[in-house]
Amino acid sequence: MTAQTPPAQTPPVPARPVDPATTAPQLDDLDALRGAAHGCTGCELWEPATQTVFGSGPASAWLMFVGEQPGDREDLAGEPFVGAAGRLLDSALERAGIARGDTYVTNAVKHFRFEQRGSRRIHKTPAVGHVRACRPWLDAELRVVHPTVVATLGATAGKALLGPKFRITESRGTVLDWEGFALVPTIHPSAILRMEPDEKDAALDAFVADLQVAAAQHA
């Protein structure tokens, strides 16, 4: 019996196209925001992606993490930070004494931007226009969760909130006053995963130290 090749997966077409600029500001509930974002067509990334990957965590979270965008695993699962970077984040949170259940994790861009290479989907950094199109969802998440502390993970997230002049090397691990929030920039855990083996331990220690700075703002 010949094995059947599974049909190619096609992205779902939103039943109701949603413009985040007009929809997100009207919603004050995470479930409502998540449901509306499922149909987001604010930029072209919704077409090749499997689905919108909205934020995850309780509305009572005191700490909000803002990353860049979902990866391949997150795009398929529909949840942020469930791949290798998410596992590294969980480990760092445990070392820093922060309960994952007290945090809300999201991304500056809610769809996976990638380049197809054969059967593989290779991460591609979102453009400024993608970050701008998704900003209303992020603003709404900040409004509804209203955390004590915001931690940006990586350059894209930092620039999304702090502007194009943001540099991680200048600001990581410091406490910035931003829009009434205590904001602590740090690196993205995926950056640690890409490092050489002999660099990873020190990089993880530094990442944990940044998280401890964030935790101190809640004490």
34-63 pLDDT, tens per residue?
999 999 999 999 999 999 999 999 999 999
User: What pTM does this model have?
Assistant: 0.92
* DSSP assignment letter at 124: -
Going by C-alpha positions, the residue among 142, 184, 143 that lies closest to residue 162 is: 184
Percent of the chain scoring above 90 in pLDDT: 92
Distance, CA of 11 to CA of 87 (rounded, Å): 27
